[in-house]
Amino acid sequence: MMITKLSKNDSTCLDLGRRSFLASTAAFTVTAASKAFGREYGPDAPPVHYPDPDVVVHDPRFAKYKLGNSPILRLYHSQEMLWAEGPAWNSVGRYLLWSDIPNDVQLRWLAEDGHVTTFRQPAGNSNGNTFDYHGRQISCEHGNRRVVRYEHDGTVTVLADKYDGKPFNAPNDVVVHPTDGAIWFTDPGYGSMGNYEGNKAPLLLKEAIYRIDGKRGAIAKVADEIEKPNGICFSHDYKKLYVADTGGPKDIKVWDISDGKRLKDGKTFVSMELEVSGKVVNGLADGIRSDVDGNIWASAGWGGEGYDGVHIFASDGTRIGQIRLPEICSNVCFGGRKRNRLFMTASSSLYAVYVETRGAHVS
């Protein structure tokens, strides 16, 4: 497919000794003593007693990542924000960008003073966002069934809108490879299954994962054996690709990357089942990110109290930790000056917590 450009005028229409103390407090394993759903957030909320009881250690390997004096903070909340998604950190601008899909708007949280602004509206009912290695924003637009890139001069480049002559279902989440600039994205079709997050229309393609060649712009399907491919991330060393399946299995899949272009040996990485208060809960993972040690941080939801938030898995698939939130968590990204702050979009709020690791990738 040829890459097309829209003019600037057209684009407007689409318009982050005490060391032993912290280590020891972080090592506490929290049981059912504290419940995220009963916790208050906001300016009038009572102070958090350190260590934060909703950063939960399930395996000793997670203890070193939990900071004894870092609370979960709700950075922003609005009753008018309907479904926050797609957080992406801009290191140069020192801001966090995210989408509110039903309201067709992209919002921006400024690190210097916590101010939130409208960044772009309309936004094509955008979902996943990221930045490439030239600092350009890339977004998956539900409403327009395409992947776009916002150029430094304000124009919009359409990277992908069709495959095999048919429109995409509704591109969902996206990542960029640093070596060749290739853009990998998922296309489950949620934005076309109703008018709330896009425009209702038939799904004309099998749900799949795609790769856009960084030089030629050619689009290749790399996997379609997944029911609803959703959140996507590379492993810390770029040798594997992880994708959350929000379809029937509700698990996270993993493939080896062959020759930088192809996927092979696909298998289930983890099930999202978790025992909560003696009952097995099968929620689902949505957005996912890798840290520099190869752990996978997965937003989790639709499981209720004690489940919703972020689940952290070691590279061997063991669930080692949890960050419990009072809302369904849709997506995550690492940001801040040292990339050691985890930002979490959750229903109608934006949360953040510092952790003792760093995100493996730029956004």
Q: What is the rounded CA–CA span in Å between residue 60 and residue 77?
A: 33
Task: Determine which helix (DSSP H) or strand (DSSP E) holds 106, and give its type and residue range.
Answer: strand 105-110
CATH of the domain spanning 16-354, picked from 3.40.50.300, 3.40.50.620, 1.10.15.40, 2.120.10.30:
2.120.10.30
Alpha helices in 42-98 (DSSP H): none
Q: What is the pLDDT of residue 36?
A: 61
160, 170 contact by CB (below 8 A): no
- pLDDT digit string, tens, across residues 241-293: 999 999 989 999 999 999 999 999 999 999 999 999 999 999 999 999 999 99
Look at residue 27 and give its three-state secondary structure.
coil
Give residues with Cβ within 8 angstroms of 203, minimum separation 6. Answer: 169, 189, 192, 193
Angle at 130 between CA 354 and CA 299, to 5 degrees: 50
Give residues with Cβ within 8 angstroms of 190, minimum separation 6. Answer: 127, 142, 170, 172, 197, 198, 228
Give the chain's residues under pLDDT 70.
Answer: 1-36
Task: Determine which helix (DSSP H) or strand (DSSP E) holds 261, and give its type and residue range.
Answer: none
Q: What is the pLDDT of residue 363?
A: 82
- pLDDT digit string, tens, across residues 143-173: 999 999 999 999 999 999 999 999 999 999 9
